Amino acid sequence: DTEVTQTPKHLVMGMTNKKSLKCEQHMGHRAMYWYKQKAKKPPELMFVYSYEKLSINESVPSRFSPECPNSSLLNLHLHALQPEDSALYLCASSQAGVPPQHFGDGTRLSIL
Amino acid sequence: KNEVEQSPQNLTAQEGEFITINCSYSVGISALHWLQQHPGGGIVSLFMLSSGKKKHGRLIATINIQEKHSSLHITASHPRDSAVYICAARSQGNLIFGKGTKLSVKP
């Protein structure tokens, strides 16, 4: 079982919908990450939170809005997405100051 | 040129074969990860190493820091080993991913 839990596993949404992806870890990690992965490509970093504060935003469009309500939870709010945003969204966590160590199973997102 | 290069890109093997996947990197690293990603998407960290060799079950990972090269070996391969294997370099607080090697093990 993965120690980073992501929900939902699959999500299909229209371009006008608002939805959220959720990530949870209880390892006491203070850094959490969102990655986007297109088919047959390596993961691409989107956001990094360190001690519940956004530390890195890799020029991600504003239709993706991250939130870290506490040290165990990381959300990614989605609004007005485009078909090209269809991808696997991976959450990861690590101790602060080191790269990701644990990955979730991902949410497979399809935009109609 | 990518900072982390893997070879081969695709690999098909018969059950029981010995498999080697290679990773070369051009940046300074503090450690190197080998990750496994199944078709469902989840990523599992297999190894993190900064020198020498590590073994876990049928999996062996080696790294040569001077040559900036790492290998992942699978002994007695099995169809359940079919997955994408990703090499990722820890460099300056970031994780730089290779493009992955897709392994298919046929029964």
Whether the pLDDT of residue B92 is over 90: the answer is: no
pLDDT digits (tens, 9 = 90+) for A24-45: 999 999 999 999 999 989 999 9
Amino acid at A89: Y
Q: Check whether the bond before A66 is cis (ω within 30° of 0).
A: no
Predicted pLDDT of residue A100:
85
Whether the pLDDT of residue B90 is over 60: the answer is: yes
- Residues A36 and A44: their CA atoms lie apart, in Å, by 5
Mean pLDDT of chain A: 93
Share of chain A above pLDDT 90, in %: 81
CB pairs under 8 A between A and B: 45
User: Which residue has tokens 């390892």?
Assistant: A27
Residue B98 with chain A: CB contacts under 8 Å: 42
Nearest Cα to A80, choosing from A24, A14, A7, A15?
A: A15
Which positions in chain A have a beta carbon within 8 angstroms of at least one beta carbon in chain B?
2, 37, 40-43, 45, 88, 90, 92, 97-106, 108
DSSP 8-class letter at A86: -
pLDDT digits (tens, 9 = 90+) for B41-65: 888 889 999 999 999 999 999 999 9
Residue B86 with chain A: CB contacts under 8 Å: 42
How many other C-beta atoms lie within 10 A of the C-beta of residue A58? 12
Whether A101 sits inside 8 A of B45 (CB atoms) is yes
How many other C-beta atoms lie within 10 A of the C-beta of residue A55? 11
3-state secondary structure of A85: helix
* B27 contacts chain A (CB < 8 A): no
CA separation, residue A41 to residues A6, B10, B51 (Å): 20, 13, 27
Q: Check whether the bond before B8 is cis (ω within 30° of 0).
A: yes
Average of per-residue pLDDT across A85-112: 92
Amino acid at B23: C
Closest partner CB to A42 (pick from B42, B93, B100): B100
Six-digit token string for B104: 């298919």
Which chain A residue is nearest to residue B10, measuring alpha carbons?
A40
Mean pLDDT of chain B: 94
Task: Give the gap in angstroms from C-alpha B44 to the nearest C-alpha of chain A.
Answer: 7
HEC readout, chain B? CCCEEEECCEEEEECCCCEEEEEEECCCCCEEEEEEECCCCCEEEEEEECCEEEEECCEEEEEECCCCEEEEEECCCCHHHCEEEEEEEEECCEEEECCCEEEEEEC
Task: Give the gap in angstroms from C-alpha B40 to the nearest C-alpha of chain A.
Answer: 8
